[in-house]
């Protein structure tokens, strides 16, 4: 009889316990996240960490397993972004076709060409939408090895990944395409009617890689926080960096004229010097942490 009343009591208070857990769950999550942000890892040289990984391969396997979980969650985020963008792909296609005069200025030859274009735009749009979450998962993977100060600083940089990425895509769409398309379409004064697959692939690829290039300052900032690079090295090697940026701009630029190459190269050079400033900020944070 006693067991019966205990079981009945558990059934009666189950809704109250469930409601209490739902109410206290946000508080518990906030406390857990605060503890994750504030704990200090063991300060060890990078060479010692690699040596331990060689002596104990099991520890390296644990990191690989953690990386697999992060990659899986990134894949889920991209899939969710593709589903969301799939509902707006027609509008996105209209927007991408405006620099050339709309979708009526394009033609499709293969029966499955429009389907492939639709899927490609949905995929690129889903990936672009998932960029902040992908950056967050990469931060979660690297955060346990960072100091508390570097962990908090790099977390604040995650929202900037979307801003820089969208800024690069907007720059390509607003400034680069309007100058590149007239040159490409009127080269040798031959009338060109581009295929929809070729045009959309060209536009999405250009916008994506320009967006990735605009992430360069944040990458250098995080690498400086982790101790892989120093701002003094970036200052000393700025000439080599400008040459490499010129090569990269020539590879990204869709035309062979120097005007469009300069349009791509100029903001990348500015971003490089901006990344030097961010790297100095990250280096100063590391020095303050070492002094403490």
- Considering the domain boundaries, does residue 153 fall inside one? yes
Residue recorded with tokens 């960490």: 49
pLDDT tens, residue by residue, 260-274: 677 778 888 888 888
- Considering the domain boundaries, does residue 45 fall inside one? no
> What CA–CA distance (Å, rounded) separates 254 from 251?
8
pLDDT at 76 over 90: yes
pLDDT tens, residue by residue, 160-182: 888 888 888 888 888 888 877 88
Q: Give me 138's structure tokens.
A: 């990469």
Predicted local distance difference test score (pLDDT) of residue 240: 86
Phi first, then psi: give them for residue 107, nearest 5 degrees: -140, 150
What residue numbers bound the domain in which 179 lies? 52-291
Predicted local distance difference test score (pLDDT) of residue 144: 76
Q: Among candidates 249, 244, 220, which has minimal Cα distance to 232?
A: 220
- What pairs with residue 107 in β-bridges? 195
* Choice between 12 and 178, residue whose per-residue pLDDT is larger: 178
- Considering the domain boundaries, does residue 38 fall inside one? no
pLDDT at 46 over 60: no
**What average pLDDT score do residues 256-261 get?**
67
Q: Among candidates 95, 100, 106, which has minimal Cα distance to 195?
A: 106
Q: Coil, strand or helix: which one is 109?
A: coil
- Considering the domain boundaries, does residue 250 fall inside one? yes
* Choice between 216 and 94, residue whose per-residue pLDDT is larger: 94
pLDDT tens, residue by residue, 16-38: 777 777 777 677 767 776 666 66
> What CA–CA distance (Å, rounded) separates 6 from 62?
43
- Considering the domain boundaries, does residue 211 fall inside one? yes
- Considering the domain boundaries, does residue 39 fall inside one? no
109-128 burial: b if 16+ Cβ within 10 Å, else e:
eeeebbeebbebbbbbbbbb
pLDDT at 2 over 70: no
- Considering the domain boundaries, does residue 35 fall inside one? no
Number of domains comprising the chain: 1
> Global pTM?
0.72
- Considering the domain boundaries, does residue 148 fall inside one? yes
């Amino acid at each position: 009889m006693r067991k019966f009343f205990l079981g009945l009591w558990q059934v009666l208070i189950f809704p109250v316990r469930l409601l209490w857990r739902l109410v206290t769950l946000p508080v518990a999550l906030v406390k857990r996240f605060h503890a994750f942000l504030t704990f200090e890892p063991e300060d060890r040289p990078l060479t010692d960490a690699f040596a331990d990984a060689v002596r104990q391969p099991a520890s390296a396997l644990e990191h690989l397993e953690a990386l697999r979980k992060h990659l899986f969650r990134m894949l889920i985020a991209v899939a969710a972004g593709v589903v969301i963008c799939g509902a707006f792909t027609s509008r996105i296609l209209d927007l991408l076709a405006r620099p050339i005069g709309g979708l009526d200025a394009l033609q499709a030859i293969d029966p499955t060409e429009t389907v492939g274009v639709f899927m490609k735009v949905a995929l690129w749009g889903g990936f672009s939408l998932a960029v902040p979450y992908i950056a967050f998962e990469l931060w979660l993977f690297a955060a346990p090895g960072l100091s508390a100060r570097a962990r908090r600083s790099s977390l604040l940089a995650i929202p900037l990944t979307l801003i820089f990425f969208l800024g690069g895509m907007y720059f390509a769409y607003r400034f680069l395409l309007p100058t590149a398309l007239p040159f490409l379409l009127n080269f040798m004064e031959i009338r060109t009617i581009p295929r929809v697959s070729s045009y959309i692939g060209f536009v999405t690829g250009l916008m994506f890689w320009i967006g990735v290039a605009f992430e360069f300052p944040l990458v250098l900032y995080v690498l400086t926080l982790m101790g892989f690079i120093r701002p003094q090295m970036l200052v000393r090697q700025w000439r080599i960096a400008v040459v490499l940026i010129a090569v990269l701009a020539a590879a990204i630029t869709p035309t062979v004229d120097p005007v469009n190459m300069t349009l791509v190269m100029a903001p990348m050079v500015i971003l490089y010097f901006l990344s030097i400033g961010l790297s100095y900020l990250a280096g100063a944070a590391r020095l303050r942490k070492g002094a403490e």
